[in-house]
C-alpha cells in the first residue's frame, strides 16, 4: 500500500479535530441532571444513606464494577471526589476509545471516511451521554475495545497467514469503497459524501441535545438555598416588667426564623433528587436541607403537624394548589376566638423554573399577636 504524504499530515490533524469536537460536546453534557443510576453510584461510593434509611439502589458487586470503582478511588485522590471529576473519568475513557478507533482505521481508510465513521460512532448523543455519566458503561466499553485491539494485533502478527478471506463473496465490495488504497470511483465518492453528511447531522443533533439539558431541579434547590427567609417579627413596645421574658422569646423567635425551612417534594423518594440536593449544598458550602416526600407531607397535613415554615416543590402546579387550599381551609370550621389564636399558613414566595414549581409557606400571626 502506497502511503500518501498528504495523509500523514491530515490524519493526525483529523484526530485532533475529533478530540476537540468530542470535548466540546461533552462540555454541554457534563452539567446535566443527575440520573438515578448516577445517584445510586454516588451514594454507594460515599456510603451515604438518604435520611438514615437504606440506599435507594443496592450496590451490585461484580468484577468489572470493582475494577471501575477501584480505579475511580485512585482518580478521586488526584482530581477530587466530585461528580464532575467522576464524569471526567468517563470522558477520558471515551477519548481513549476514539484513540483506539483512530489507530485501527488510520492505515485502512482514507481520511474522509475515517473521520465520518468515527464521528458517527462516537459523537452521537448516546455515546456522549454515557461518556459524561458517573457509571461504568464507558469504562467497560473501553475494556472491550482494548480486548478487540489485542485480538486484532495478534491476528496481524500471527494469524494473518493462517486465515484467508479471499474466497468469501460479498454482496457489496466494501474494500473498493472505503479503503484508502482503492481507486477513485462513483461509489466511493457517493459513500464519502453520504457518510460525511450523516456525520455532520449527528454532531449537530448531539450539540442541540446537550444545549437542552434539563437542570430545573438544580436551579430550584439553588434558589431555595439562596433565598433569604429571615423576616423579622413585628412586636409592640414591651413593658419594663416583661422585658426579660420578651427578650428570651425574641431570641428564640429569631433563631427559629433563621433556621433552615423544611422542604417537601410532592413525589415518591428519588435518589437523583436527593443527590442533587447534596451537590447544590456542597457547591454553596451549606448544610444540606432535609428532604421529605409526598407521604410525609400528607401525614403532616392530616395530623396538623407541619413546621412553622417550609417549601413545597412540585412537578405539577395543581398539586401545590390543592395543598394550598387544604392549608387555607384548616381553620374554616373554627370559631372566631379560636381563629385568633390559631396559626395560619400563608404563601410568602413562589418560584417556577420550567415544569417545576416551589412555594414557600410560613405561619402568620393573628390580630392579638399570638402565633
pLDDT digits (tens, 9 = 90+) for 261-287: 889 998 888 888 999 999 999 888 988
* Burial letters 257-294, b for 16+ CB under 10 A, else e: eeeebbbbbbeebbbbbbbbbbbbbeeeeeeebebbbe
Among 16-20, 166-170, 174-178, top mean pLDDT goes to 16-20
Do strands 344-353 and 356-364 pair parallel, antiparallel, or not at all (unpaired)?
antiparallel
Residue 347 CB contacts under 8 Å (≥ 6 apart), including other chains: 324, 359, 360, 361
Does residue 369 fall inside a structural domain?
A: no
Are 112 and 223 part of one and the same domain? no
Does residue 237 fall inside a structural domain?
A: no
Are 185 and 226 part of one and the same domain? no
Does residue 238 fall inside a structural domain?
A: no
Residue 157, CA distances (Å) to 147, 154, 161, 181 in order: 15, 5, 9, 21
**Whether residue 323 has pLDDT greater than 80:** no
Q: Give the pLDDT confidence score for residue 65 in this predicted structure.
A: 77
Are 227 and 182 part of one and the same domain? no
**Whether residue 26 has pLDDT greater than 70:** yes
pTM: 0.74
Are 151 and 249 part of one and the same domain? no
Are 226 and 173 part of one and the same domain? no
For residue 331, with 0-12 CB atoms within 10 Å meaning exposed, 13-18 middle and 19 or more buried, which class applies? middle
Residue 252, CA distances (Å) to 233, 237, 258 in order: 11, 18, 10
Are 184 and 171 part of one and the same domain? yes
Do strands 291-292 and 262-265 pair parallel, antiparallel, or not at all (unpaired)?
parallel
**Whether residue 185 has pLDDT greater than 60:** yes
pLDDT bucket at 318, cuts 50 / 70 / 90: low
**Whether residue 124 has pLDDT greater than 50:** yes
Domain count for the chain, please give it: 2
> Are 217 and 266 contacting, i.e. CB atoms less than 8 angstroms apart?
no
Does residue 358 fall inside a structural domain?
A: yes
In the numeric block, which cell numbers belong to residue 226? 439562596
Report the percent of the chain where pLDDT is more than 70.
66
Are 89 and 160 part of one and the same domain? yes
d(CA 239, CA 246): 9
Domain of 36?
Answer: 5-211
Report the percent of the chain where pLDDT is more than 90.
20
Residue, of 89 and 260, whose pLDDT is higher = 89
Are 129 and 222 part of one and the same domain? no
Are 207 and 220 part of one and the same domain? no
Q: Give the pLDDT confidence score for residue 252 in this predicted structure.
A: 46
Give me Rg for the CA atoms of the chain: 30
d(CA 15, CA 103): 10
**Whether residue 169 has pLDDT greater than 80:** no
> Are 141 and 97 contacting, i.e. CB atoms less than 8 angstroms apart?
yes
Are 78 and 152 part of one and the same domain? yes
Length of the chain: 371
Instruction: Calculate the CA dihedral of residues 294, 295, 299, 302 and round it to 10 degrees.
Output: 60
Are 34 and 181 part of one and the same domain? yes
Are 28 and 174 part of one and the same domain? yes
Amino acid at each position: 500500500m502506497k502511503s500518501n504524504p498528504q495523509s500523514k499530515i491530515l490524519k493526525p490533524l483529523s484526530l485532533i479535530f475529533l478530540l476537540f469536537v468530542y470535548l466540546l460536546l461533552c462540555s454541554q453534557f457534563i452539567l446535566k441532571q443527575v440520573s438515578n443510576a448516577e445517584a445510586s453510584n454516588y451514594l454507594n461510593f460515599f456510603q451515604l444513606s438518604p435520611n438514615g434509611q437504606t440506599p435507594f439502589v443496592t450496590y451490585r458487586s461484580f468484577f468489572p464494577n470493582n475494577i471501575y470503582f477501584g480505579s475511580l478511588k485512585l482518580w478521586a485522590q488526584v482530581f477530587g471526589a466530585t461528580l464532575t471529576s467522576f464524569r471526567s473519568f468517563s470522558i477520558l475513557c471515551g477519548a481513549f476509545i476514539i484513540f483506539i478507533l483512530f489507530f485501527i482505521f488510520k492505515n485502512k481508510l482514507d481520511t474522509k471516511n475515517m473521520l465520518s465513521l468515527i464521528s458517527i460512532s462516537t459523537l452521537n448523543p448516546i455515546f456522549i451521554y454515557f461518556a459524561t455519566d458517573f457509571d461504568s458503561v464507558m469504562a467497560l466499553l473501553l475494556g472491550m475495545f482494548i480486548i478487540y485491539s489485542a485480538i486484532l494485533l495478534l491476528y496481524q502478527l500471527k494469524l494473518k497467514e493462517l486465515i484467508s478471506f479471499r474466497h468469501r463473496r460479498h454482496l457489496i465490495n466494501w474494500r473498493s469503497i472505503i479503503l484508502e488504497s482503492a481507486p477513485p470511483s462513483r461509489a466511493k465518492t457517493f459513500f464519502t459524501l453520504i457518510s460525511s453528511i450523516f456525520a455532520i447531522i449527528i454532531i449537530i443533533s448531539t450539540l442541540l441535545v446537550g444545549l437542552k439539558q434539563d437542570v430545573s431541579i438544580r436551579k430550584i434547590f439553588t434558589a431555595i438555598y439562596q433565598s433569604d427567609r429571615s423576616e423579622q417579627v413585628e412586636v409592640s413596645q414591651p413593658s419594663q416588667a416583661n422585658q426579660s421574658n420578651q427578650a428570651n422569646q425574641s431570641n428564640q423567635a429569631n433563631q427559629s426564623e433563621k433556621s433552615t425551612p423544611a422542604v417537601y417534594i410532592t413525589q415518591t423518594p428519588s435518589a437523583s433528587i436527593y443527590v442533587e440536593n447534596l451537590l447544590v449544598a456542597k457547591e454553596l458550602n451549606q448544610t444540606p436541607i432535609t428532604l421529605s416526600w409526598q407521604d410525609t407531607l400528607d401525614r403532616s397535613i392530616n395530623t396538623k403537624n407541619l413546621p412553622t415554615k417550609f417549601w413545597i416543590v412540585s412537578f405539577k402546579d395543581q398539586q401545590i394548589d390543592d395543598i394550598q387550599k387544604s392549608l387555607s381551609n384548616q381553620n374554616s370550621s373554627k370559631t372566631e376566638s379560636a381563629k385568633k389564636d390559631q396559626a395560619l399558613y400563608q404563601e410568602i414566595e413562589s418560584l417556577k423554573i420550567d415544569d417545576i414549581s416551589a412555594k414557600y409557606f410560613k405561619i402568620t400571626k393573628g390580630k392579638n399577636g399570638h402565633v
